[in-house]
Structure 1
Amino acid sequence: MVTTAAVVVDRFSLQLTFLLFLSVVVVTLFTALLTAPQRDEIGEFYLGNRTMSPLRNGLAMCGDYLSAATLLGSTGLVALTGYDGLLYLGGTAVAWMMVLLLIAEPLRNAGRFTLGDTIALRMPARQRPVRLALSLCTLAVTTLYLVAQLVGSVALLTQFTGEPSAATRTLCVVVIGTIVVVYAALGGMPGATFIQIVKAVMLISGVTVTAVMVLHHYHWNIDALLTAAADNSGMGTRFLEPGLRYGASTTSKLDFLSLQLAIVLGLAALPHVMMRLLAPRSTNVLRSSVVWAMGLVGLVCLAAGVLGLGATAVVGRDTIARMDYKGDAAVLLLAHALGGGVLTALLSCLAFVTLLAVAAGLTLAAASSAAHDLYGEVIRKGRAEQTEELLVARLAAAVMGVLAMLLALVSWGANTATLAFLAFAIAASALLPTLVYTLFWRRFTATGALLSLCGGLLSSVLLVVFSPVVSSTPASLYPDADFAWFPLQNPGIVSIPAGFLLGWLGTVLSRPEIPDAYDEFEVRALVGAAD
């Protein structure tokens, strides 16, 4: 397969990308250290000073959520599959509606540092086993998503150098992983917030300017852009109709529905997103912040759609597929065609910074859960000093970073989208049912929470193990084996209902919790007594 290294990313682009990336890293690391918590207070490390404006909070939420998959993978999907790719982007934008309308305000009111604190307030008598299960699910989600980011850094490096050697892969993963650990372990929430805001501003500016260049190229005529995309797709008007990827068969339609369910429902339960929802100082700030995040994410998704269509129209679908069958090279090929080496370098640097920001948020969420829920409340039973818990949080960030680096090096050939979508599926199947039942069902018990958490996690993982992701197809991890009795690549359509069902079943088969616990919890969660 031809690589983009010889065609798209020339020596000038490579050098400029390195200089830009190094400059951003130096500035953000220095600022992260300056803004790092100066006192040994876990609240400042986990949530920051809680004084940011709605716009800055919204930018941080946008930076936390949008990964390099949006810049590279989503634009590539649109470039290769047309209408189906645009439909996928719609789910990415709509997901924030679930957050705003259902969980943002009650979670912020009832929460403290993690989701475990919300459940502890709701089920004080049996909080520790639930915290343990919750922490394991949180670590599973964050580890998968973090490994996806580090594997993605190697995939992005491939666009520059061709197939990297083992030493190059190791160096790339270790450098990116080490920077991420420094952001999370030393900077805490203030440091992670700064890099996320920088990343969000860069991402929004980069994709918007490039989308404007695409529209200007076609004289702001959308019909001309669509016609050129259809003509250069090699498929004519079929490119602008459903069915190229997800509508060809009943199985592919169900797979797309399963994927969209995992994305829309999983966002509301991603640990690093939930931590960000706890950071605003009041519900009014939170509400405005989520609205800003919705608007900014929608703008990026709209621009990504224009970039995908523009890549097909300007470069051609066959050329993109030859360079990278997954389509990740589409935006770089488009940048080279429209703006030469400078624009290519700018978007390449943006992709690396995007990886850093998302990985920093994930590492911080994992460290917070490990230190606060697992160590502070389960092992030390709430008796840990703040300095002690803060030290454990910093160590947990380092351990999490090293573990993710090792897993990324072992699984570097894995599909990054598959790892990310599995993380979304686990969040939607295990964490979301527990969160929704905790917030809104008076009868919900600790037994129901344990069954929902463990059952959602196990069903998601087992269904993926016995799916085409792992065996039976040329793109599988083990293409020569065949034990894929589950036909879909994403388990959400089965595992999400299973998580809700198990939570209900465990509750109705167990005795109710403390009678007055929910009344106090409801006042705090829905009325806003936490303010």
Structure 2
Amino acid sequence: MVTLSAGVVGGFSLKLTFILFVSVVVVSMFTALIIAPQGDEISEFYLGNRTMTPLRNGLAMCGDYLSAATLLGSTGLVALTGYDGLLYLVGTSVAWVMVLLLIAEPLRNSGKFTLGDTLALRLPRNQRSVRLALAFCTLTVTVLYLVAQLVGSVALLTQFLGEPSSATRTLCIVAIGTLVVLYVALGGMPGATFIQIVKAVMLVVGVAVTAVMVLHRYNWNVDDLLGGAASGSGIGQRFLEPGLRYGGSTTSKLDFFSLQIAIVLGLAALPHVMMRLLAPSATRVLRRSILWAMGLVGFVCLAAGVLGLGATAIVGRDVIADIDAKGDAAVLLLAQDIGGALLTALISCLAFVTLLAVAAGLTLAAASSLAHDLYGEVVRKGRASQREELTVARLSAVVIGVLGMLLALVSWGTNTATLAFLAFAIAASAILPTMVYSLFWRRFNARGALLSLYGGLITSVLLVVCSPVVSSRPASFYPDADFAFFPLQNPGIVSVPAGFLLGWLGTVLASRPKDSEPPETYERFEVRAVLGVDQPV
């Protein structure tokens, strides 16, 4: 959380940001209503227009994947920690390689609307129990990440107004949350896709323009930029060497490794990102879409590195740290220095739109899981009509949005990075092992799926509760208590192997015949996953 007594930028930038943000919202909301599903086809609400080009799909994937943390948090981390911050950005880029090489094509070929459909096809005997478990994990991950976005919107507003009042916090969260609900409940996947594409284009253009201005100031000489960053850091060459943040001790190095595991594997398993993989109409479109997404994400991360170094070189590391200890203000301070009020307003508007777009994708994924997996398949056992399920999906979007707003208001003061990284860890520890085993392991059964899902979720949460995030340190939730027997702030290094181990253990120890599927079940699934067609009878 950012706690400032006064805003980072002036009132004119705030007014200009508000005008730009309202303009983007009005245009995108109007467009979302026009392209929203007009009939009762649930496929259009869940997946939208499946005839989009690879570029548009890639932009939507990039929009779903990159949050405001990349623009503000990652840039600030580079500005404060130099080499270690740049290394952190690598993990954000690498995750798409995992998606491309491991799960994209078989998931798209075997899936329908949600991840639960893939598990139901793989484990048909016990589909309701595994759908229920997967839906529970999906809702946990998406709600945690949604709350992080809503709390982050207040932290961003703090950059303008300083420490906000209770009424201001409530108004900001309710306004953003209401917009998110409208995009999803009325627009479905087409509406969410449009705002994602708008956000991705704005993000790419915004960081590109700012990075060009930084490089132009240093005559396009990277060595001069690095030298200026080292000078502006106040610690010289040490700023460009590893260890400034994560190399102080063995525990610190392990914490960084654990965080990277959670980022690389967790971002690849986030439900709203995996749901986006089901949208392309053909595998060749999916491949090209992912290549576009990889290129766009890599470019944004590269530009974020330039902006972070530029902020240190131009603004100064000490100035950034004095204003905002986390560094979230770095890119705004840089924009104000090199582009004045106009560039500051553009970057600020971009950050708000980014928060809005990611929150919309998360809400859609949660509403789809709640309506399709829980209501349609578990409660109604597949007998719900399309109109009935579509109505439940729209109502679910409202429920998820209201729940996210209430939790955001209650959890004000919580570190947004902690909530986001916990969501990543749960996705990597529970959802990813289950999907990997389902796609590639013939023996995998329902017992293994349930143990992996529930076990990965419980392990992640338990380790975070018993970590310095919750107790034993001044920045902890309960600084005066001490029950942090787990020394790391991110549980990925333990919880991810535990999720895979529990999935394997549950499978090999299953003794009841009903826990396992007939051999021909996996054979049919394999044909579907590889070729995208059902095995002929």
> TM-score, with normalisation over the residues of structure 2?
0.98
Q: 1:530 to 1:194 in 2, by over 3 A?
A: farther
2:142 counterpart residue number: 142
In 2, are the aligned partners of 1:4 and 1:329 still within 8 Å (CA)? Answer: no
Report the counterpart of residue 514 of structure 1 in structure 2.
518
Q: CA deviation at 1:420?
A: 0.6
Q: Identify if the C-alpha distance between structure 1 residues 530 and 302 changes in structure 2 by more than 3 Å, giving closer, same or farther.
A: farther
> Displacement of 1:529 after TM fit?
1.8
Contact 2:114 2:369 in 1 (8 A): yes
Indicate conservation of the 8 Å contact 1:4/1:159, yes or no: no
Report the counterpart of residue 281 of structure 2 in structure 1. 281
Distance 1:530 1:245, change over 3 A: farther
SS at the partner of 1:490? coil
Q: Output the amino acid matched with 1:522.
A: E
- In 2, the alpha carbon distance for the partners of 1:477 and 1:27 equals 40
Aligned 8 A contact 1:4 1:323 in 2: no
1:496 — aligned with what?
496
Q: How many residues of Structure 1 are paired with residues of Structure 2 in the alignment?
A: 530
Following superposition, the deviation at residue 5 of structure 1 comes to: 4.4
Matched-pair contact (CA < 8 Å) for 1:4–1:160: no
Give the equivalent residue in structure 2 for 1:437. Answer: 437
Partner of 1:524: 528
Q: Tell me the SS of whatever aligns to 1:278.
A: coil
Is 1:109–1:530's contact at 8 Å kept on the other side of the alignment? no
Q: Name the counterpart of 2:26.
A: 26
In the alignment, residue 55 of structure 2 is paired with which amino acid? L
- Counterpart in 1 of 2:332? 332
Q: Distance in 2 between matches of 1:392 and 1:62?
A: 28
Work out whether residues 76 and 327 of structure 1, in 8 Å CA contact, stay in contact via their aligned partners in 2: yes
**Residues of 1 paired with 2:5 and 2:316: CA distance?**
14
1:528 CA drift (Å) = 2.6
Match of 2:67 in 1: 67
Partner of 2:395: 395
Q: Distance in 1 between matches of 2:351 and 2:5?
A: 16
Q: 2:526 is matched by which residue type in structure 1?
A: E
Deviation at 1:49, TM superposition (A): 2.1
Quote how far apart the aligned CAs of 1:2 are: 8.4
Match of residue 190 from structure 1: 190
Asked if 1 retains the 8 angstrom alpha-carbon contact of 2:11 and 2:160, the reply is no
- Aligned-partner SS, 2:246: coil
Structure 2 counterparts to residues 316-465 of structure 1, below 5 A: 316-465=316-465
- The equivalences for 1:178-327 within 5 A come to 178-327=178-327
Partner amino acid, structure 2, of 1:86: L
> CA separation in 2, counterparts of 1:474 and 1:162?
22
CA contact (8 A) 1:64 1:361 kept: yes
- Tell me the TM-score normalized by structure 1: 0.99
CA RMSD of aligned residues (A): 1.1
Distance 1:470 1:206 in 2: 36
Q: Distance in 2 between matches of 1:517 and 1:364?
A: 31
Cα pair 1:131 1:373 within 8 Å, conserved:
yes
What letter is aligned with 1:346?
A: L
Please give the alpha-carbon distance, in whole angstroms, between the structure 1 residues aligned to 2:119 and 2:167.
Answer: 45
In the alignment, the residues of structure 2 paired with residue 203 and residue 450 of structure 1 have an alpha-carbon distance, to the nearest angstrom, of 39
The code of the aligned residue for 1:438 comes to S
Distance, in Å, in 1 between the alignment partners of 2:5 and 2:92 is: 28
Given residue 524 of structure 1, which amino acid in structure 2 is its aligned partner?
A: R
Q: Which moved more, 1:459-468 or 1:503-512?
A: 503-512
Q: Alignment partner of 1:470: what SS?
A: coil
Task: Give structure 2 stretches of 5+ with no counterpart.
Answer: none
SS at match of 2:198: helix
CA distance in 2, matches of 1:237, 1:132: 53
Structure 2: distance between partners of 1:274 and 1:360: 15
Taking the aligned partners of 2:112 and 2:326, their CA distance within structure 1 comes to 41
Q: 2:129: which partner in 1?
A: 129
Distance 1:31 1:4, change over 3 A: farther
The AA in structure 1 aligned to 2:530 is L
CA contact (8 A) 1:17 1:349 kept: yes
Q: Flag structure 1 segments of 5+ consecutive residues without an equivalent.
A: none
Runs of 4+ off more than 2 Å: 1-6
Query: CA offsets per residue over residues 348-387 of structure 1, 9 Å max, x none?
Result: 0000000000000000000000000000000011101111
**Aligned-residue identity in percent:** 80
- 2:159: which partner in 1? 159
